[in-house]
Amino acid sequence: MLKTGNTIIITKHFDLPLHSKGKIVSSAGANFTIKMKHPNNCLVTFRQSKFARIHGSDSIVMKKRDGIERGMSGKILEVLPFLHYLCIFDRPDGPWIVDLAEADIMAWDPKKKVFALFDTVRVTEDIPEHKLEKGMEGVIVLVFCKPSLSYDVEFPPKGEDLRTYVLLSHQLELVQSS
């Protein structure tokens, strides 16, 4: 079981579709904390430009899609009943605090070779089929959790094209956490 303070990565996407509704619960300057009806019980901090008020009330509607992506890292704020966790995800426009089921998250631990989105990693062995050499560095651009944990890693271009390859945990080591 995960504990308060554990760093986690999210294992699926949570989008707030266009026109998602919510209610403002607090504000600080141009930032508003909003309780969204989707996904789960989601408390999100947004700048005012991301939403429109409905008839000047504290109810709002999203002006564009937004969300948290599979592979993003966050922290557990509180352990809830029935294997649910209150998690926080730092984003440029403010934190998202989301109630997530245990199936939606996994522990993040570079010692166990579990990496997060945008981590810089190094290849630990030669992989001739992809023309990758031990020591090459790349950035994780996608995390796959099923059928097994693997990573889409983007490497600097050779010639004009960026190269991305799906690699397993044992083929990578952490250089820098995002």
Cis peptide bond prior to 147, omega within 30° of 0: yes
Mean pLDDT is highest, among 9-13, 74-78, 160-164, 174-178, for 74-78
Beta strands in 11-136 (DSSP E): 14-16, 21-28, 31-36, 42-47, 51-53, 59-62, 66-68, 73-80, 84-89, 96-101, 105-107, 120-123
Per-residue pLDDT of 90-126, as tens digits, reads 877 677 788 888 888 888 776 777 888 889 999 999 9
Residue 8 has pLDDT above 80, yes or no: yes
38 confidence band (pLDDT: 50, 70, 90): low
pTM of the predicted model as reported, rounded to 2 decimal places: 0.62
Distance CA 138, CA 67 (A): 25
Residues 127-144: what's their mean pLDDT? 90
Domains of the chain: 7-107 (no CATH), 110-176 (2.30.30.50)
> By three-state DSSP, how is residue 50 classified?
helix
Task: Give the single-character DSSP code of 130.
Answer: G
How long, in residues, is the chain? 178
Distance CA 172, CA 88 (A): 27
Q: pLDDT at position 39, please?
A: 57
- 96 by Cβ neighbours in 10 Å (0-12 / 13-18 / 19+) ranks as buried
Distance CA 152, CA 158 (A): 17
